[in-house]
Chains A and B, each alone.
Chain A
Amino acid sequence: MTFEEIKCRLAGKTVGIAGCGGLGSNCAVALARVGTGKLIIADFDTVSESNLNRQYYFIDQIGMKKVAALAENIARINPEVKVIGHDLRLTPGNLPVIFDGCDVIVEAFDLADQKEMLIETILTAMPAIPLVIGLGMAGWGMNDVIHCRKDGNLYICGDEISEIGPELPPISPRVGMVANMQANVVVELLLNSEVAR
Chain B
Amino acid sequence: MKILLNNNPEEFNSTQLTVNELLRNKNFTFKMLVIKINGILVKKADYETAMISDGDEVHVLHLISGG
Residues of A within 8 A of B (CB): 19, 21-24, 107-113, 115-116, 119-120, 123-124, 134-138, 151-152, 154, 156, 158, 160-164, 170, 175, 178
B residues contacting A by CB (< 8 A) are 31-34, 36, 39, 41, 43-44, 59, 61-67
| B32 in contact with A116 (CB, 8 Å) | yes
Which residue of the partner chain, among B32, B36, B43, B66, contacts A113 with CB atoms under 8 Å? Answer: B32
A110 and B67 in contact, given A120-B41, A120-B44 (Cβ under 8 angstroms): yes
B34 touches A22 (CB 8 A): no
CB distance from B66 to the nearest CB of A (A): 4
> How far apart are the CA atoms of A160 and B34 in the complex, in Å?
13
A175 to B67, CA, bound (A): 7
Can you give 7 A-B contacts (C-beta < 8 A)? A22-B67, A107-B67, A110-B66, A112-B32, A112-B65, A120-B41, A151-B61
Chain A hits for B41, CB < 8 A: 120, 123-124
A137 touching B66 by the CB < 8 A rule? Answer: yes
Residues of A with C-beta under 8 A to B43 = 120, 124
Contact A163-B67, Cβ < 8 Å, known A112-B32, A151-B59? no
Indicate if the CB atoms of A152 and B39 lie closer than 8 Å: yes
Q: Contacts A116-B32, A124-B41, A152-B39 hold; do A138 and B62 have CB atoms under 8 A apart?
A: no
State A170–B65 Cα separation when bound (angstroms): 10
The answer to whether B34 and A119 touch across the interface, beta carbons within 8 angstroms, is: yes
A120-B43, A120-B44 known; A112-B34 Cβ under 8 A? no
Cβ–Cβ contact A116 & B63, under 8 A: yes
B63: chain A residues at CB < 8 Å are 112-113, 115-116, 119, 135
Contact: B34 with A136, CB < 8 Å? no
Question: Which residues from B are CB-within-8-Å of A170?
Answer: 66-67
Establish whether residues A162 and B66, one from each chain, have CB atoms under 8 Å apart when the complex forms.
yes
Bound Cα distance A123, B44 (Å): 13
